Amino acid sequence: MIGGVRIAILGFGLIGGSIARALRVHDGASTYGRDLELAAWSRRPDGPTRALEAGIVDDAAPDPAIAIEGADLIVLAAPPLASLALVDMLAGTLRGALGREATVTDVSSTKRAIGDAADSAGLRFVGGHPMAGREASGFDAATPDLFVDRPWVICAGRHATPGDTDRVAALARACRADPIAMDPAMHDRLTATVSHVPLVVSAALVEAMTADPSWPEARGLAAGGWQSMSRLAAGDPTMGAGIAATNAPAIAAGLREVRTVLDGWIAALETDTDPGDFEARLRSARERLRP
């Protein structure tokens, strides 16, 4: 785009749609100027089409090559495995449409796999992960306030310049998030702790409890506790599968730690009937949640 800034969003579900909404509703104009141009592409064109009709994007591109042509910043906002495939396309079939000065970023929940792929492809890549989300998915779930005051992790790739990093940090701030620089390996280990292990534990709980023959009766009694614990299992399976596939070692390590603690609980429940011991353990867990 001549004389302005063009941002291309490839993948237009919850996160991609929320970025576009945030840029239109909040600080996009003040960050990029009035000539900000938003392009969107998705394998399912209904989201970008409706966003164009609503004035949220300026271009609902029919294919990714048209979306990224002239783009200063390209945001890979598809699920993790689909974003990895887009990196391969940027290194191959889309290379001719990719500007030499274009910055590529993503919003995937894992950073090492996509960062390594982008480095191998020679892209000016700065990995990104806005630490925000909902159990709902798709463009219909997108909201301009999704990222407000949330961390937005930034992991600069091998070929990224300081200007590339600044572009991604500016995107985060324009969405009213707080950019935080972090090593990709550290990011994946920490997010396994606070996000990915809870996802698998939630799914495992649902798998185990709904296999019980009495589940239909139990379901009628379910209230806040079950809803809170099962919420993550109700999320997008494609997204969750991509997270598991691209951060498997860290997730497995975290689950082993959870299994050790659960084994301790099982042993206590089978041999100890003193409510004081259980209270002490629960009190300790509650205390650990405090800052």
**CATH code, domain carrying 63:** 3.40.50.720
pLDDT at 6: 95
Q: What's the domain count of the chain?
A: 2
Distances (CA, A) of 218 to 50, 213, 231: 41, 10, 17
- pLDDT score of 264 more than 60: yes
CA gap 148, 131 in Å, rounded:
10
C-alpha to C-alpha distance for 80 and 245, rounded to whole angstroms: 9
Can you give the CATH number for the domain in which 255 is found? 1.10.3660.10
Residue 28: pLDDT band by 50, 70, 90 thresholds? low
Shared domain check, 229 and 159: no
Q: Last residue of some domain: 136, 153, 182?
A: 182
Q: What are the tens digits of pLDDT across the range 182-205?
A: 999 999 999 999 999 999 999 999
The residue type at 56:
I
160 and 105 in one domain?
yes
Q: Indicate the pLDDT class of residue 133, thresholds 50, 70 and 90.
A: confident
Summarize the confidence of residues 253-258 as an average pLDDT.
98
Q: Both 81 and 149 in a single domain?
A: yes
* 135 and 203 fall within a common domain: no
Same domain as 47, residue 167: yes
Same-domain status, 152 and 203 = no
Domain match, 165 and 201 both: no
Q: pLDDT tens digits, residue range 31-47?
A: 776 789 999 999 998 99
Residue 204: its H or E element: helix 197-210
The tokens describing 186, both together, are 């550290």
pLDDT of residue 273: 82
Q: Are residues 168 and 214 in the same domain?
A: no
Instruction: State the Cα angle at 16 between 15 and 19, rounded to 5°.
Output: 85
Question: Domain end: 153, 182, 211, which one?
Answer: 182
pLDDT at 27: 58
Describe the strand order of the beta sheet including 73-76 as a list of residue ranges: 59-60, 36-41, 5-10, 73-76, 103-106, 125-130, 151-156, 178-181
What pLDDT, on the 0 to 100 scale, is given for residue 229? 96
Burial (CB count <10 Å: 0-12, 13-18, 19+), residue 175:
buried
Model confidence at 1: pLDDT above 60: no
Q: Which of 141, 162, 182 is the last residue of a domain?
A: 182
Amino acid at 138: G
The answer to whether residues 173 and 235 belong to one domain is no
For residues 117-146, give the mean pLDDT: 92
- The pLDDT, as a whole number, for residue 33 is 67
Residues 56, 167: one domain?
Answer: yes
Identify which of 96, 155, 168, 158 has the alpha carbon closest to the alpha carbon of residue 121: 158
Average pLDDT on 131-138 reads 80
Range of the domain at 170: 5-182
Instruction: Tell me how far apart the alpha carbons of residues 153 and 144 are, in angstroms, rounded to a whole number.
Output: 19
Q: Beta-carbon neighbour count of residue 233 at 10 Å?
A: 20
The residue among 97 and 235 whose pLDDT is bigger is: 97
- DSSP letters along 152-173, please? EEEEE-TT--HHHHHHHHHHHH
Closest CA to 47 of 82, 19, 81, 27: 19
Over the stretch 137-149, which tens digit does the pLDDT of each residue have?
788 899 999 999 9
Mean pLDDT of 91-111: 96
Q: Are residues 136 and 19 in the same domain?
A: yes
Do residues 150 and 228 both lie within one domain? Answer: no
Give the pLDDT score at 217.
Answer: 95
Classify 36 as helix, strand or coil.
Answer: strand
What residues form DSSP beta bridges with 231?
none
Per-residue pLDDT averaged across 167-177, rounded? 96
Q: What percent of the chain shows pLDDT beyond 70?
A: 97
Task: Evaluate whether 41 touches 12 at the Cβ level (below 8 Å).
Answer: yes
pLDDT at 2: 45
